Amino acid sequence: MDLLDTLTAKGLRGEVPTREEALAVLATTDDELLDVVAAAGKVRRRWFGRRVKLNYLVNLKSGLCPEDCSYCSQRLGSKAEILKYTWLKPEQAADAARAGVAGGAKRVCLVASGRGPTDRDIDRVTDTMAAIKDADPAVEICVCLGLLSDNQAERLKAAGADAYNHNLNTSENTYGSITKTHTYADRVDTVQKAHGAGLSACSGLIAGMGESDEDLVDVVFALRELGSDSVPVNFLIPFEGTPLAKEWNLTPQRCLRILAMVRFVNPDTEVRIAGGREVHLRSMQPLGLHIANSIFLGDYLTSEGQAGQTDLDMIKDAGFEVEGAGEATLPRHRADIAEAVAASGCGTTASSCGTAASSSGTAASACGSGGGCGPCGGHAHTPAEATTAEGTEAAVPQDDELRSDLVKVRRRGAGTELAPNA
């Protein structure tokens, strides 16, 4: 059986491929691309039908971060001319959230820059969540505040948070080259704290930082092990004024191969196309919907996306539908695990706390995972180091493919007087 037949069969059973198979997806050629998308699409439709979950970002506190994540426009020393403001008032954040929900978003993602929240910050977010849920109790709220201290996840859960985001971003081996002020282990710990408190874990990666195929596969398998319910796939937005401003390592084809690999390793998990969708997939975005079952509506934390209505038109034109508030995102067996975790307070890695049986009795991991700051961009080694699994040089964009013209700093929505894009 050839690679794609094997991956499809495994994905339909909810089975995880081998590491070698995941690497082989990244090594496929452009001639094979539509076959790769079709194979991943079968797996996507098996578990998620033609639904697209919409998520809406509200940046509660922008810029001024003491951490040094190389990919981030909000980092210490960033010269990126982004919006900078401190905590939005609860009613300001609720107004922005309402715009996203009115535009079709099922989940609101409340994000604040910084190493991690103080207990006073947890109070602020508690008030903000109350303001949002007062207006619409059905809205899902995911919180992203950085590294959590003991009991903060429990406080967020008690205050009504549904999920916590903290991305692993890249492999353990390369984490130290993108950030010096905290470690990969810190990030894993926060994911586990969130999961242990019964919050759904949202944790993903950033591609395009000069990482190798092995790095990408490492982080995606690590996310599977942690039991992330939602895996945001960010494509580095190389902001001028950050250390990674010149890192243009992605093509639309490469992005689709990465998404397909993430889907095969996480057949029954929410896979979200996150920051960098418009910048790197460009006119190929609709093909991404055949692989991922979730996107952000409208703008990102510090950059502008395409118009919210354009997102909605794209979904409809591609033959998909926006997931409704009353519809479950995860397949039943995964939702059962999430509920069991919430009830038990189990927050360890997947291997230690049970498996999820698919309809054919195969296993998917359950516990753990985390978040961190969301779709602000990303990087690691030099582009010249990027290699495929076969050791051949990956396609690197030519000068005319450097699309810094597509990077638009956010100037509307939260923290401004202008209406949000939703």
Q: Catalytic site residues?
A: 65, 69, 72, 109, 142, 202, 272
Which residue type, as a one-letter code, is found at position 222? A
- Under 8 Å between Cβ of 272 and 311: no
Q: Smallest distance from the beta carbon of 156 to ligand SF4, in angstroms? A: 17
- Whichever of 113 and 421 has its CB closer to ligand SF4, that residue is 113
- Whichever of 206 and 265 has its CB closer to ligand SF4, that residue is 206
User: What crossing angle do the helices spanning 213-226 and 184-196 adopt, rounded to 10°?
Assistant: 30
- Under 8 Å between Cβ of 386 and 212: yes
- Whichever of 12 and 72 has its CB closer to ligand SF4, that residue is 72
Q: Smallest distance from the beta carbon of 405 to ligand SF4, in angstroms? A: 24
| Spatial separation of the C-alpha atoms in residues 417 and 312, rounded to whole Å | 24
- Whichever of 66 and 319 has its CB closer to ligand SF4, that residue is 66
Longest pairwise C-alpha distance within the chain: 58
| Spatial separation of the C-alpha atoms in residues 409 and 302, rounded to whole Å | 6
Burial of 317 (0-12, 13-18, 19+ CB in 10 A): exposed
**Tokens representing residue 305 in the block:** 């996306």
- Whichever of 146 and 252 has its CB closer to ligand SF4, that residue is 146
Where do contacts with ligand SF4 occur on this chain (CB under 6 A)?
A: 65, 67, 69, 72, 74-75, 113, 115, 146, 373, 376
Which residue type, as a one-letter code, is found at position 95? D
Give the H/E segment covering residue 54. strand 51-61
User: What crossing angle do the helices spanning 252-265 and 213-226 adopt, rounded to 10°?
Assistant: 30
Strand 140-144 to 355-357 pairing: unpaired
- Under 8 Å between Cβ of 262 and 20: no
**Which three-class secondary structure state does DSSP give residue 112?**
strand
CB contact burial 372-407 (16+ within 10 A = b; e otherwise): bbbbbbbbbbebeebebbeeeebbeeeeeeeeeeeb
Q: Smallest distance from the beta carbon of 115 to ligand SF4, in angstroms? A: 6
- Whichever of 12 and 109 has its CB closer to ligand SF4, that residue is 109
Could you tell me which of 300, 208, 221 has the C-alpha nearest to residue 257?
208
- Whichever of 211 and 213 has its CB closer to ligand SF4, that residue is 211
Using Cβ positions, the residue closest to ligand SF4 within the complex turns out to be: 373
Rounded to 5°, angle at Cα 265 from 1 and 322: 110
Q: Smallest distance from the beta carbon of 85 to ligand SF4, in angstroms? A: 13
